[in-house]
A and B are shown apart, each in its own frame.
Chain A
Amino acid sequence: MSYLQIKNLHARTGDIEILKGVNLEINKGEVHALMGPNGSGKSTLSSVIMGHPDYEVTEGDILLNGESILEMDPDERALAGLFLCFQYPVAIPGVSISNFMKKAVDARHPEGKAPAGPFLKEMRENMEYLDMDKAFANRGLNEGFSGGEKKRMEILQMMMFKPSIAIMDETDSGLDIDALQVVAKGVNKMRGPDLGLLVITHYERILTYINPQFLHILMEGKIVMSGGPELVKTLEEKGYDWVREQIAVTA
């Protein structure tokens, strides 16, 4: 049994059905890539997994460690071990990074309050690892951040919260090579037997830094093809039109 199981997932917002029966299993220790053209439903899938209130699950289930999470609030899902690196993280002026990180780490602590010393030390070390300026900690969360700074901020949180399943929604898009390498460095540090990773992207670019073991292709709300690392190469060479032809053949 996989740690995260997505079974025949249908979801909609308003009257629009976006996910039309997604099946996907991710185990701890595995790295999966999810690719698909713009508008195929990748961000929607990650929002539905995290429990965004705008989306309604109409059919199917999501199981984490064997238990359905559909009735859980986003904060309960986070504490159960899910983490989402947002494609477009919101800015929250007035809430400083240090205050925000402390509250989020406190929420994970068995006594509701993490000791300040070790927390600050760990945060400082991780920020250094991601080439982030110490002064960042006093800034408003994502306030006036560049694209690269926002993505580093997301990776920093992933390193601090230590999820069992992390979803990275196009963390690579809009980044220059330097920022991309830093992001990849953070991800590769996190890799290991305790983390299952779903890397969503629509370029192959990040996959040269993060080698996934599995690749899935999402089109029009369905996973239409899955494979190993060799599929990344084929897709790179032949493009989504080839995928469309393949589906037409099998259908």
Chain B
Amino acid sequence: MPTLNLPLTETPSLLGGFDENLLEQSRKGEHALLQAKRTAAFESYSQIPNPDRFHEEYRRMDPALFQIAKFSPMQIPEAAATYKALAEDTNYDVVISVSSEGIAVEDCNGVLTDGNLVVMPLDQAAREHSTLLEQSLGAGMVPGEQRKFLDLNGAFWNVGFFIYAKKGVDLKGGILIRYHNDQADTVLLPRLVVVAESLTRFAIAEQFTSPDNVKTLCISGRELLLDAAADVKLVSLQDWGNEGLHIGEDWARVKRDAKVNLFSMTVGGKVSKMTVGCDVCEPNANAYLGGMFFADRDQHFDQKTLQFHSSADTYSNMLYKGAVKDNGYSVYQGIIRALKNCVGVDSYQTNNNLVLDPTARADSLPGLIIDADELACSHGATFGNIDQEQLYYLRSRGIPEGEARRMLVMGFFDEVIDRIPFENMQDHLHAVIERKFGV
């Protein structure tokens, strides 16, 4: 079976301080279930060859940029932090904040009281939902893939949450998890496990921030398991300060009639590598992968998607829109893969890039690996500055040049942003674009 990973040239080794000692520290005092999961992930992590810049996936983003050996784990106090409300929190039913002060979980609208929706740290879930967690932690991965950083996260995560919606849960607001790291030279390793039973509908947002000029690393791992006819949206906003480094892996398994929306928005940080994959594994399963990125001032963003069709009659649609300026550099790589005998697959992959000045660069490498014979697939990429005919059209209607350019850049991104289920996130992204675009 073809996989995302072509052979890596380097032999396996442990990365930086992510070794047996740290594993023992992480396991100390933990529930046996979590200990076993960590050990299994460690085994896998230590056997996967090291990613290097001679490997196709890392050719445009040298893993050495992440300087993994320089970072030690971020310290998150055991004691619960007091919840501090922000104005934007009114958009959500549940707000979790993770920072140097600890973890605060706020059930703003009492949606957790009847027990149909569960939002809790992984260690609590290990005690209260051990069977389910046993089945789901580490199970989101597309079969056959080898992801060193995801397994690193699996062995060493230092904060983790379990979101579990029982059959029929329909959440209006949504769940926000806010991560803020202000500890210099530390690495945050967040894990998220989402289990959606049949006929559930909810949305989750994760947001990452840090102060400017504070060197931080984040290695995130998320998995989403959707049962029949579930409808789950996940928005990930990488909004780190100017010295933030980020590696993120999102994996979703989508069953019959279910639909997942995976949004990845990268605007902050210095170097970021996001991988988003889905396995639409039963008939009528549907995945939408939406991405936006805007790299300016030497930012280097890399995004990778995998649309894996392991069943007949499955759908996936991917739209990633990026802009680069002022020495910004973005990379998009995507793969659509359909297994043999999967008839009736519809799969689309589009990456559009706005290259706003000649100092900036955008690379795009869409790809297909198809074993099936009967399917509709398309993939394409575009590059260019603002379209002159569109600009002329708006100006011929009396709209001044600056405003017309602003509208075109916003409109470019709005094809994705308009689909994000949180209005405050949309507003925030608009403000970021406005600032970066500089009008």
CA distance A89 to B398 in the complex (A): 15
CA distance A157 to B388 in the complex (A): 21
A95 touches B411 (CB 8 A): yes
A107 touches B399 (CB 8 A): yes
Instruction: Say if the beta carbon of B156 comes within 8 Å of chain A.
Output: no
CA distance A74 to B398 in the complex (A): 7
Q: How many residues of A contact B (CB 8 A)?
A: 27
Instruction: Say if the beta carbon of A90 comes within 8 Å of chain B.
Output: yes
Of B388, B390, B418, which is within 8 A of A92 by CB? Answer: B390
Instruction: Say if the beta carbon of B408 comes within 8 Å of chain A.
Output: yes
CA distance A90 to B401 in the complex (A): 17
Instruction: Give the chain A neighbours of B401 by CB distance below 8 A.
Output: 73, 75
A94 touches B410 (CB 8 A): yes
CA distance A71 to B260 in the complex (A): 53
B415 touches A90 (CB 8 A): no
CA distance A7 to B289 in the complex (A): 56
Instruction: Say if the beta carbon of A37 comes within 8 Å of chain B.
Output: no
Instruction: Give the chain B neighbours of A89 by CB distance below 8 A.
Output: 393
Of B387, B396, B418, which is within 8 A of A75 by CB? Answer: B396
Closest CB in chain B relative to A47 CB, distance in Å = 9
A95 touches B398 (CB 8 A): no
CA distance A8 to B407 in the complex (A): 37
Instruction: Say if the beta carbon of A99 comes within 8 Å of chain B.
Output: yes
CA distance A51 to B391 in the complex (A): 12
Q: How many residues of B contact A (CB 8 A)?
A: 25
Interface residues of A in 66-102 (CB under 8 A from B): 73-75, 77-79, 84, 86, 89-90, 92-95, 99-100
CA distance A164 to B395 in the complex (A): 17
Closest CB in chain A relative to B254 CB, distance in Å = 27
Given the contacts A53-B388, A92-B393, A100 and B398 also touching, CB distance less than 8 Å: no
Query: Would you call the interface of chain B mostly helix, strand, loop, or mixed?
Result: helix
Instruction: Say if the beta carbon of B170 comes within 8 Å of chain A.
Output: no
A75 touches B411 (CB 8 A): no
Given the contacts A52-B392, A53-B388, A53-B392, A95 and B407 also touching, CB distance less than 8 Å: yes
Given the contacts A52-B392, A53-B392, A86-B393, A103 and B399 also touching, CB distance less than 8 Å: yes
A94 touches B415 (CB 8 A): yes
Instruction: Give the chain A neighbours of B392 by CB distance below 8 A.
Output: 52-53, 74
| CB-nearest residue of chain A to B407 | A95
Given the contacts A99-B407, A100-B407, A107-B400, A90 and B389 also touching, CB distance less than 8 Å: yes
Of A50, A94, A95, A100, which is within 8 A of B396 by CB? Answer: A50
> Given known contacts A99-B407, A104-B397, what 6 new A-B pairs fall within 8 Å (CB)?
A75-B397, A75-B399, A89-B393, A92-B390, A100-B407, A140-B411
Binding site for B on A (CB under 8 A): 50-53, 73-75, 77-79, 84, 86, 89-90, 92-95, 99-100, 103-104, 107-108, 140, 157, 161
The 10 closest A-B pairs by CB, nearest first: A94-B411, A78-B398, A95-B411, A74-B395, A107-B398, A75-B395, A104-B397, A94-B414, A74-B396, A94-B415
16 contacts between A and B (CB under 8 A): A74-B395, A77-B396, A78-B397, A78-B398, A90-B389, A92-B393, A92-B408, A94-B414, A94-B415, A95-B407, A99-B407, A103-B399, A103-B403, A103-B407, A104-B399, A107-B403
